[in-house]
Every structure is written in C-alpha cells, then in structure tokens.
Structure 1
Amino acid sequence: MAAFAYNAINSLGVESNGQITAVDRTSAREQLLQRGLRPVALDQVGDETSGGRRKKVKQRSLQVFSRQFATMIDAGLNIVSALLILEQQTDDKALSEVVREVRAGVEGGMLLSQAMAQHPKVFDRLYIAMVEAGEAAGILDKVLDRVALQIEKEMKIKRRVKGAMIYPTLVLCFAFLVLVGMLLFLVPIFEGIFEDLDGELPILTKVIVAASDVMKGYWFIVFPAIGGSIYGFRKWKKTPAGRQVWDRFKLHAPAGIGKVVLKVTMARFSRTLATLVAAGVDIIKALEISG
C-alpha cells in the first residue's frame, strides 16, 4: 500500500485536500471518484507499510480501541463521532493516524469495513470480516466487543508462550556464549598442550581446533555472517514457502514442543472460528479466515 496526497473538487465545486491510501495511483483515483471527488492533483508521498514511516500499532492499543469503540456505538454515537473521539484520546500515535484515515474514508462515503480494509497491517482479515458482518446485521457494537475479547485472548496466549520460552532461550544464549568462549580461549590452550606432547589429535578434536582458528582469525567475518544468517532466516520465515516449512518444523519439533505448538494452534483456530460464526460470518468464509 502507498499513500497519495490529493487535491480534489466535489460536485458543488468545493476544493478539498488530504491523503488516501491505495495499491496504486489508479486505485487511489477510483476511491476518490467513489467518494464523489474529482481529483485535480494526485501525488504519491510514500509507502504506508514501510517500517520507517509508520510505527507498528500495539495489540494492546487496538484492543482498547475496539472496546471503547463498541461502548460508544452502544451508547448511540455515530461512527464518525466515535472515531473522532478515539482519534483524539488514544495515546498510540500510530493508531491515531490510522483512525484519522479510517474516519476520513467513512466521511467520504465508505463503509467502516472498507475504510479499515485500507490498513491490513492494523486490521487483519478476522477484524474486517467481523466488522463487515456486524454492519450487515446491525450489531456493530456487539461485534466490536467480541473483537476486543478475541484480541485480549490472543495477547494472553502470546504472553504465556513468551513466558514459557524465556528459560530455553536463556539456556541457548548461554550455551552459545560458552561455545564461543571455548573456541576462542580454551581450545587454543589444549592445542598447545597436545603440540608439546607431540600427540596425534583425534579427528573430532582437529575439527574443533580448525573451528577455533577460523573464529580467531576471521571473527570480523564470522559474526556478521551469523547476524546476516539470522536476519535472512527471519525474512525467509515471512515468505509463504518459508512459513509453511517453518510451521511444519515446529509441529514436528522434539521434546514435546511440537505438541504444545499443535495445541496452541488448534485452540487459536477453534476460538477464531467460533468468534466469526457467532458474529454471523458465513461458515465457508469463516473457515478460510481461521485457516
């Protein structure tokens, strides 16, 4: 998605300025026309999804936003007024900017679900589908409350998983530091002892000594290579093929990790499906989103 600054005129000849997000310039122009605006100037000002231009919206902020939004709709406020209040009250600047753009879209004639769909990094498919179902059934307040509850449960699961992973992560980090320390300092000492005794080193020991020599002589290449490998691995995991391979590995991981991952995944799938069906989403669409 990209952001476009526009200058447009409505049917009454009134000029307006602002920003709109779209896949490309053609989509941005079509959105303006759907709002009853004739674009005079339309210029791309940046990529909306680039990490340096917009901070990531916190899940906690989104959960509070959804809960408060539901309360305001239930109290009788219209969508635009509720969005304006939430835009001004939220402490999350990134979310405030997104809410402002959503409000502008609704004021321009878009449905709330359509305006939110312009920000897939903030409102995922589950969120959009539930809001769309709530709009159709006239129960937007109840649906937003269910969304807030869903986000809250997701955050609890993430906290539990992170808490369970702290100890093994610390152990792995400590083991890595010990291994590096052995290769840099301890192995050279044993190598000198073996040389003094004129003994023949076993094959495995020769491999360890060679690794130590590489670590000592080319540390300025080894450490950046390790960092680059980690960065590349994280990027690869985000690709469809990489995600599939990584998920399969997690499901078959040893030491009971695979079973835990399977239980967490099944719980998330069941809860998501139940939430969508309860909100009135078609079962086929609910299965597609849950999967």
Structure 2
Amino acid sequence: MRFTLKAYRDTEGVIELALDAVDAGAARRQAEAQGYRVLSTNSAEASGRPRLFAGGGFSVPLFAQELLALLEAGLGLVETVALLAHKARHPDAQNILQDLQRRVGEGRSFSQALEAIPAFPPLFVATVRASERSGHLADALRRYLAYQRQLNALRDKVLAASVYPLLLVGVGGLVVLFLLAYVVPRFSRIYEDVGRAHLPLLSRWLMHWGQVAGDHALALGILALVLAGGVVSLLRRPATRAAIERWLWRVPAVGEQLRIYQLARFTRTLAMLLRGGIPLVAALGMVDELLRQPGLQAGLVRARQAISEGRAVSDAFAAQNLATEVGTRLLVVGERSGELGEALERIAGFYDDEIARSVEWFSRLFEPALMMGIGLLIGGIVILMYMPIFELASSIQ
C-alpha cells in the first residue's frame, strides 16, 4: 500500500513523502530511518484531501499533532507555525494558519492568538493557556491528543455497534420493498383469474395492495421518495433531534446509558483541564456544553456554585447526580490524595468500560431479535402469497 507522509528534516524543512509499505507503522519507520521526523501519515486513498482538513473542516487534533512533532524536533513556536502555514495546501487552512502566524509574529501569546481565531475551540485554547504558565506546551499538546484519542475510541465503539443493525434494517427493508412493489403485484394478477373471494383474509389484503401498487407504481414511487426526503429533512433539524433525544432520555435503560456516556466525556475533559493546571471552578465553566441533558446542565451549575462555596467535589457531584456511586467513591479518594485529575481520569475509564459492556450486551440481544423480526416479516409476506396455491393443491388431492 502507498502512504503519503508529511515529515520534517533540518536540511529540507517540512516535505511530503510517498512511500510503499505494508502499513502506516512500516511507512513511518522507513521515513525515520532516512532521518525524517514524521508529522502525519495517510494512505494514498486519503491523500487527495489536505492534511489539515477532516470531513471538510479544519482539524485541530491534526494541527496539534503536527505542531507537537515540529516542537519535539527542536523548532521554535514561530518557526513551526510558519512552516505549517507555508505547507498548507487548502485555501482555508492557509488563511487560518497565516492568520495565526501573523498574530504570533505581532507578539501575542500563543493562547491569545488561538483565541482570536474561531476555528480553535475554547478547550484547546484553555489547554494551551494553562501550559504557558508552566512552559510545557509539548506536554499540553500530548494531553490534548490523548484526550481526543480516548473520546474518539469511545465514539467509535458506539458507532461500530450500530453498523450491523443498520445494515440489517437496510437490506431487510429493500427485500420487503422488492416483494411489495414487484413480486406481490404479479401474484395479484395471477389470482385475479382464481377469484379473490376464495383467498384467506390476509392474502386478500396483500393482493389488494399488489393491485394498487401495480396500477399506481409511479405515483407510489414518487410518494416514497417525497416521504424519505421529508424524514431526512426532519432529522437534520436540531429541534427534531432534540425531541428524539428527550424521548430517549425518558426510556429507562437508554436514558441511563446516555447519562453515563455524557458523564464519561464530562469527567475526561475535566480531568484533562485539571491536569493541565486550570483551576477547578474555571474548568467546570468550560465543560458545561458537554452535558446536553437539561437536568445535568442545571446540576452542574449548582455543583459549581457549591464547590466555589467550599463544599467537597464528591459531595457536590453526588448531590447533583453528576457521578455514579463508584465515581463518588473514587472522587473521595482523589480528594484525600490531592490527585483529583487522576481520579477523574480513572472515573472516565470506568464509565468507558461500562458503556462498552452495555453496547456489547445490546448487540448480542438486539441483533438476533432484529434479524428474527425481519425474517418473520419477509417470511409472512411469502407465506401469504403462496398460501392460496397450497390450499388449491390440497383441494385437488
């Protein structure tokens, strides 16, 4: 497989290499053996997309990764930003990085320059600002990248578990649509000569649908497309998604898992901020957007107020349902040892494991049930189509 690598060497600066290797790790080792420091690696299939862009938007994690690699190579911050701005190929990426280069060159601190550019989220800006007090920008970038990897791993687990059910629904839906739109209308015309009065009730309903579908195929096709477009349009609306989310929160088992998922992101983000040197009360003000459920948001406001008044974090979180029982115990241990950030990191890992177990349990239970339901639906349609033939054969005998 062919890989495109962005790499740095003192004599050449930042360049792109095209190497053939078994995997990305082997391509990286080849480049390092030639004296390069690898900034990023992409397969040839993805190399047509600019490196600082992912899905059409500016990728802050990828920027942080390349920035970290150049800083570890011994370059200064101003020189690093200039190199990245010079090598960016997409016009929007160039504009963002050139704006950043200009602001840093004017003498602003790195965090001030980042804060003035909307492409950089407040969380990243806060992480950099905290590192400026200690002078360890590289460590802050490593924490941020590790945080992003852990969040992506949790999200990928949830998405991977939904792929197979969606595939089953899609294939099953296409088979049912084919039967109802193509096969049943032809059976309906066959049974017209026999007389539908002799058909079982459910078979008569199915054949009636077949006649309607055969006579108005074009109109039904247009109607189906319009309905599908309407559903997609509704799902894209924030109000619709919010209504679905509110409904899911009211489902007992699903609502609890949504709560754990949001608490996992919340505690992991808070842990990164605390370990970066940001005060607790200020960090709590940065993570409120991660709790999308109104009850949790209001609870965070009350917990922050209680903590600012001197109440223990474990007590404030437990009172507002911002931690499970195990999470509360770990918070108590972290408060006693003075390592609250590490305790929050462990809590987030515990939540991740709980979500992984729930996703695995859901997959084992739901996927067979879904397959059985689709099989029963398709089998029912086929049986209703062939039942009159079976009855006719039995009467002849």
How far apart are residue 234 of structure 1 and its match? 4.1
What is residue 284 of structure 2 aligned with on the other side?
Answer: 284
Query: How has the CA–CA distance of structure 1 residues 192 and 220 changed in structure 2, closer, same or farther, with 3 Å as cutoff?
Result: closer
Counterpart among 119, 126, 147 of residue 129 in structure 1: 126
Give the 3-state SS of the residue equivalent to 1:280 in structure 2: coil
What is residue 266 of structure 1 aligned with on the other side?
Answer: 263
How far apart are residue 178 of structure 1 and its match? 1.2
Counterpart among 149, 153, 160 of residue 157 in structure 2: 160
What is residue 175 of structure 2 aligned with on the other side?
Answer: 178
The AA in structure 2 aligned to 1:245 is A
User: Could you tell me how far apart the structure 2 residues matched to 1:213 and 1:253 are?
Assistant: 41
| Deviation sequence 1:134-189 (CA, Å, 0-9, x none) | 33554333222211111222232333233222211110110221122122112213
May I ask how many residue pairs the two structures share in their alignment?
233
RMSD of aligned residue pairs (Cα, Å) = 3.9
What is residue 69 of structure 1 aligned with on the other side?
Answer: 67
User: Could you tell me how far apart the structure 2 residues matched to 1:112 and 1:215 are?
Assistant: 65
Query: How has the CA–CA distance of structure 1 residues 258 and 284 changed in structure 2, closer, same or farther, with 3 Å as cutoff?
Result: closer
How far apart are residue 272 of structure 1 and its match? 1.2
The AA in structure 2 aligned to 1:101 is D
User: Could you tell me how far apart the structure 2 residues matched to 1:111 and 1:214 are?
Assistant: 72
User: Could you tell me how far apart the structure 2 residues matched to 1:104 and 1:248 are?
Assistant: 45
Query: How has the CA–CA distance of structure 1 residues 249 and 219 changed in structure 2, closer, same or farther, with 3 Å as cutoff?
Result: same
Give the 3-state SS of the residue equivalent to 1:218 in structure 2: helix
Give the 3-state SS of the residue equivalent to 2:53 in structure 1: coil
Q: Tell me if structure 2 keeps the 8 A contact 1:57–1:94.
A: no
Q: Tell me if structure 1 keeps the 8 A contact 2:103–2:113.
A: yes
Between stretches 137-146 and 271-280, larger displacement belongs to 137-146
| Higher radius of gyration, 1 or 2 | 2
Q: Tell me if structure 1 keeps the 8 A contact 2:52–2:59.
A: no
User: Could you tell me how far apart the structure 2 residues matched to 1:111 and 1:66 are?
Assistant: 16
User: Could you tell me how far apart the structure 2 residues matched to 1:179 and 1:249 are?
Assistant: 28
User: Could you tell me how far apart the structure 2 residues matched to 1:226 and 1:161 are?
Assistant: 28
The AA in structure 1 aligned to 2:230 is S
The AA in structure 2 aligned to 1:225 is V
How far apart are residue 95 of structure 1 and its match? 4.0
The AA in structure 1 aligned to 2:83 is I
User: Could you tell me how far apart the structure 1 residues matched to 2:159 and 2:90 are?
Assistant: 23
How far apart are residue 192 of structure 1 and its match? 3.0
Mark the runs of 5 or more structure 2 residues left unpaired by the alignment.
1-49, 292-397
What is residue 222 of structure 1 aligned with on the other side?
Answer: 223
* 1:57 aligns to 2:81 (yes or no): no
How far apart are residue 62 of structure 1 and its match? 3.8
User: Could you tell me how far apart the structure 1 residues matched to 2:60 and 2:114 are?
Assistant: 12
User: Could you tell me how far apart the structure 2 residues matched to 1:226 and 1:110 are?
Assistant: 54
Query: How has the CA–CA distance of structure 1 residues 89 and 205 changed in structure 2, closer, same or farther, with 3 Å as cutoff?
Result: same
Between stretches 81-90 and 70-79, larger displacement belongs to 70-79
Q: Tell me if structure 1 keeps the 8 A contact 2:111–2:129.
A: yes
User: Could you tell me how far apart the structure 2 residues matched to 1:67 and 1:187 are?
Assistant: 57
User: Could you tell me how far apart the structure 1 residues matched to 2:162 and 2:135 are?
Assistant: 42
| Deviation sequence 1:106-147 (CA, Å, 0-9, x none) | 234544334334554x43232222223333554333222211
User: Could you tell me how far apart the structure 2 residues matched to 1:269 and 1:135 are?
Assistant: 24
* 1:142 aligns to 2:143 (yes or no): no
1:16-31 alignment runs, 5 A limit: none
Query: How has the CA–CA distance of structure 1 residues 249 and 91 changed in structure 2, closer, same or farther, with 3 Å as cutoff?
Result: farther
| Deviation sequence 1:224-265 (CA, Å, 0-9, x none) | 3144224413421xx3x34432333444569x7666544433
Query: How has the CA–CA distance of structure 1 residues 74 and 235 changed in structure 2, closer, same or farther, with 3 Å as cutoff?
Result: same
Query: How has the CA–CA distance of structure 1 residues 208 and 219 changed in structure 2, closer, same or farther, with 3 Å as cutoff?
Result: closer
Counterpart among 222, 242, 245 of residue 243 in structure 2: 245
The AA in structure 1 aligned to 2:223 is V
User: Could you tell me how far apart the structure 1 residues matched to 2:90 and 2:153 are?
Assistant: 20
User: Could you tell me how far apart the structure 2 residues matched to 1:73 and 1:55 are?
Assistant: 18
Mark the runs of 5 or more structure 1 residues left unpaired by the alignment.
1-53
Q: Tell me if structure 2 keeps the 8 A contact 1:125–1:289.
A: no
What is residue 87 of structure 1 aligned with on the other side?
Answer: 85
User: Could you tell me how far apart the structure 2 residues matched to 1:69 and 1:55 are?
Assistant: 13
TM-score scaled by structure 2? 0.48
What is residue 105 of structure 2 aligned with on the other side?
Answer: 107
Between stretches 182-191 and 62-71, larger displacement belongs to 62-71
Choose between structure 1 and 2: higher helix proportion: 2
Query: How has the CA–CA distance of structure 1 residues 144 and 215 changed in structure 2, closer, same or farther, with 3 Å as cutoff?
Result: farther
The AA in structure 2 aligned to 1:58 is A
How far apart are residue 213 of structure 1 and its match? 5.5
